[in-house]
Chains A and B, each alone.
Chain A
């Protein structure tokens, strides 16, 4: 099915009253959790995973997609008004956006962020609709060796390239892979790392790990630093209606930001940080008002990165839906939702579940429209949410985290695991380890093992299979060079610096 026909099918699914309602619930919830500091889409979708036992897959994914997009919109509100970016990709938005807000132009900053998110989200979703079938045509030729190579590429970029340190990122990744290995090995029936505990035979639930890292760990970290951090909400000033000049200054950055964000997000490597920073530096170079950057706040510096952020969020769904390859923590949790329905995302997904996939894509268009309405005329409501006192907010998060895990499984093991993972999550935050690789390793690790074994079985135990198939070899070379080349470059620079100490 090509993109156009697919979309017609999809709108047929997404426009039913029930699914519209799910979309509205998802986008509202997504905006709310995006606004609240300390909550993110990965955590929220993890907490809502149990509904996969109760509702149809279409409804669940429309809800999850609404949360996913909504959190991006809500997050920009927080970065502009509070200057505490919830995720690394909104750091750039807060740089210029918060300066604009302090200079009485919060309204314009929020408007350009929301409309930019809408423009980028809509173009990005169109991109999914037309790119997904193309990727599927390609992916149908992939064997287990290629899939394994792709997963290695995703592992290395997510943990070694995007974070602040390759060593800590990879340590986090291997920790996640190990967590994913716990339980009965599906191929041989052997128990692995269960330490004789019956409850661990089915493996550790990803909900426990995600909620532990993102809710409990985050709360502990905030408790430890709360005293030292006084955050002030910048009052919402300035008209939400952008002036003619502001429109003119925003359109270019929106489109360029989308052009950076979508392709980079759609690559099997993913990541929203690179496109947002690229967009920021491009706009800084191209602007006619360079004096506003870093001083009073330039609207281009909000419009571009915010569009790049949302477009890359749309792009991430391409490898997720077509290859079953999640490149962000949220996408990894969504993948586990597919698994919970017994659906395997991959090139066959579009053929076997057209109504599900196209319904999801169509609901993203509808969600974008809803989000524009939710985030501009109703902005005052979300600003009120920012005023929830931190003690109540974090206490509520922990109570909810407990419901989401213990409440569902009624297992003490899960509750204790949740809190232990939370303490590990705190230490990871405190000692600057990225947490997303843990989730991605946990979900993708067992899949990588499965493809590895299949490839080895097909090749009759020949290890060279990953290097003799050209596509697999190319992907592995890209993955390795992404890790090694920056290191060599840094070492070369260092030795140069030592030879001529410039003082």
Chain B
């Protein structure tokens, strides 16, 4: 992410800090802080135990803290990623489409049901990967989602987020079955 092209990993002292690496390292330290804070907050049980419920959580927090700190040091010395990896800038637009699709899926899966939400997700992801045929993708996505839905719902007898379309199909299957039997 950082464009310090002249950075040399051997000359550690002069190398500029790597911003991306540093943010990730600080994220690990931040997580360690949350873990330790929450570990102290675990009420110690009155039930007798040689090792209480807080010991291992505190060790996990300390572990994250130690290695997070080591990562911060490494990031300040120019980062740990090899130069050619650093040079690749992630395709923000593609990431945006996929992340947007995921957010949209969270919002729509309840009200619209699994199939419609999946079609939206499918179209966003294919767009992120450079596809320019949203209608074709929507058709493929709808087929795929319906097959998957019926596969899960029918073979495993698990009900996954039914919405308008699913209920419609269930209704069709049901009427078809009763109609068949009626003859």
A: which residues have CB within 8 A of B?
50-51, 54, 165, 167-168, 170-171, 173-175, 177-178, 181, 185, 187-193, 195, 216, 219-220, 222-228, 389-392, 394-396, 398-400, 402-403, 406-408, 410, 412, 415-416, 419, 422-423, 427, 430-432, 445, 449, 452-453, 456-457, 460-461
Contact = CB atoms under 8 A, between A and B. Distances in A.
19 contacts: A50-B158, A167-B71, A174-B63, A174-B64, A174-B67, A177-B63, A188-B45, A223-B95, A224-B92, A391-B127, A392-B126, A392-B140, A398-B125, A399-B145, A403-B114, A406-B109, A407-B158, A449-B51, A453-B49
B135 interface: no
Interface string B130-171: 110000010011001100110010001111110000000000
B16 interface: no
B3 interface: no
Given A178-B64, A391-B129, A412-B110, A452 B53 contact: no
Contact of B141 (A173, A395, A406): A395
Contacts of B157: 54
Contacts of B125: 219, 223, 391, 394-395, 398
A226 B130 contact: yes
B172 interface: no
Contacts of A416: 106
Contacts of A193: 35, 38-39, 42, 57
B130 A177 contact: no
Contacts of A165: 80
B15 interface: no
Contact of B121 (A168, A402, A460): A402
Nearest to B69: A167
A419 B129 contact: no
Interface of B: 20-21, 24, 27-28, 31, 35, 38-39, 42-45, 47, 49-53, 56-57, 60-61, 63-64, 67-68, 70-71, 74, 80-81, 85, 88, 90-92, 94-95, 97-99, 101-103, 105-106, 109-110, 114, 118, 121-123, 125-131, 137, 140-141, 144-145, 148-149, 152, 156-161
Given A226-B130, A457-B50, 6 more contacts: A167-B67, A167-B74, A175-B64, A190-B43, A395-B121, A399-B141
Given A227-B130, A407-B161, A187 B80 contact: no
A175 B63 CA distance: 9
Contacts of B38: 192-193, 195
A460 B43 CA distance: 23
A396 B157 CA distance: 22
B60 A402 contact: no
Given A187-B49, A192-B42, A395-B122, A224 B94 contact: yes
B118 A402 contact: yes
Nearest to B35: A178
Given A189-B45, A403-B148, A391 B130 contact: yes
A192 B53 contact: yes
Given A167-B67, A392-B126, A178 B21 contact: no
A478 to B, nearest CB: 20
Contacts, number: 205
A394 B129 contact: yes
Contacts of B110: 412
Given A188-B49, A408-B160, A228 B88 contact: yes
A193 B137 CA distance: 41
B109 A391 contact: no
A191 B57 CA distance: 12
Contacts of A225: 88, 90-91
Contacts of B123: 395
A227 B81 CA distance: 21
B56 A430 contact: no
Contact of B51 (A400, A410, A452): A452
A227 to B, nearest CB: 5
By CB atoms of chain A within 10 A, which of B35, B118, B129 has the most?
Answer: B129
A38 to B, nearest CB: 12
A192 B106 contact: no
B98 A223 contact: yes
A419 B28 contact: no
A177 B35 CA distance: 11
Nearest to A227: B91
A165 to B, nearest CB: 7
A189 B95 CA distance: 42
Contacts of A216: 102
A449 B141 CA distance: 44
Contact of B156 (A50, A228, A392, A419): A50
Nearest to B131: A391
Contacts of B43: 190
A402 B110 CA distance: 13
Contacts of B61: 178
Given A181-B57, A228-B88, A431 B128 contact: no
Nearest to A224: B90
Contacts of A415: 105-106, 109
B80 A168 contact: yes
A168 B157 CA distance: 42
Contacts of A173: 63
A432 B81 contact: yes
A228 B87 CA distance: 12
A18 to B, nearest CB: 15
Nearest to A433: B24
B160 A181 contact: no
B137 A392 contact: yes
Contacts of B57: 178, 181, 192-193
A192, A225, A398, A431 interface centre (most CB from chain B within 10 Å): A431
Interface-central residue, B99, B127, B158, by most chain A CB under 10 Å? B158
Nearest to B148: A403
Contacts of B85: 432
Contacts of B92: 224
